[in-house]
Amino acid sequence: MSIRSFLRLSAHIQMLPVLESGEETLVGGQAVMEGVMMRAPHSYCVAVRKPNGEIVTEQSPLPRVSEKYPIFKLPILRGLGTLGHAMYLGVKALQFSANVALGEEAAKEGEKAPELNGWMLAAPLAFSLLFFLFMYKFVPLFLATELGKAVPSLHGRFAVNMMDGLIRLTIFLGFLYALSLMKDIRRMFQYHGAEHKVVFNFESGQPVTVENAQKFVTFHPRCGTSFLLLVMVIAILVYPLLPFDAFAAKLIARIALLPLIVGVAYELIRYAARHQQGLMATLTAPGLWLQRITTQPPSDEQASVAIQALDGAMQLEEAQGGELVIA
């Protein structure tokens, strides 16, 4: 794998939590390279458009993690199970789309592209995890600590932790905006918009067509963008309560508390998706605003790819006799 392909794949992996649906639900999905993955309760389908216009798909049964492991039906834990399963499926879908993309690039140069397998994905996955911990845990805390030393009024425990949260949020927004300027990622954000429009179309009960899907907005309350932003807001509220002053202790506590914060954020997003009024509407509003970056209006061709992915998932769900019910 070339350095360019490695960095390209790593950037897409970084976007997985932003692009994936934040809840086990009737239908949901995520954008991949030049395509969309859609999932039903027990099935999924990835549809990718090749440069020649052909749409290729991959579909498979998909056992729900809460059915396979009942412990993940419990509050807080179900968020961890759902997110972990979504990330696993997202990597699998990204692997399929990357193989299509790399195969097309190699064909143009008259070469044979190597099949991107699990072992080849391990390096960019490990790089992405380390990058996340460094960029969103170490860097904000380090900068806030140094700022506290330089400015006496920001030296207290509460002030340092609050600055840490604000710096983390700034890095996240800046990094997201910078990635959105890349042509590759911007097209993925268009497919992200296509996925949301098609899901809205399906949930409306209207026939799922390109024309109908394009009538809907690209902002969806169950989006991973809203979920990640809520995780960061909760962290800003929780970290100042930690009774630690040593840098190493604060860093370890931030990493250790991440699963709990993720679980709480999931419960809030899950509740907000069912009660989209009052406080819950206020809670999800910033995430919907942020989707102005992570979702872009799709073309009709991109919407048709999302529809084909949904059709594939639904056909397999029907073949398995699955009952379409909201989780």
CA angle 103, 180, 143 (to 5 degrees): 120
Question: Each residue of 176-235: pLDDT tens digit?
Answer: 888 888 888 899 999 999 999 999 999 888 999 999 999 998 887 777 777 888 888 889
Q: Which two tokens stand for residue 162?
A: 């609050």
Contact assessment for residue 267 and residue 79, using Cβ atoms and an 8 Å cutoff = yes
- Locate the domains of the chain by residue range: 3-121+133-317
Element (H, E) at 40: strand 35-40
- Indicate yes or no: pTM above 0.75: yes
Average pLDDT over residues 275-286: 65
- Residue 253: what are its φ and ψ, rounded to 5°? -65, -40
Q: Which two tokens stand for residue 238?
A: 């929780």
- 327: confidence class by pLDDT, cuts 50, 70, 90: very low
Candidates 171, 269, 281; CA nearest to 225 is 269
Question: Each residue of 297-317: pLDDT tens digit?
Answer: 999 999 999 999 999 998 888
17, amino acid identity: P
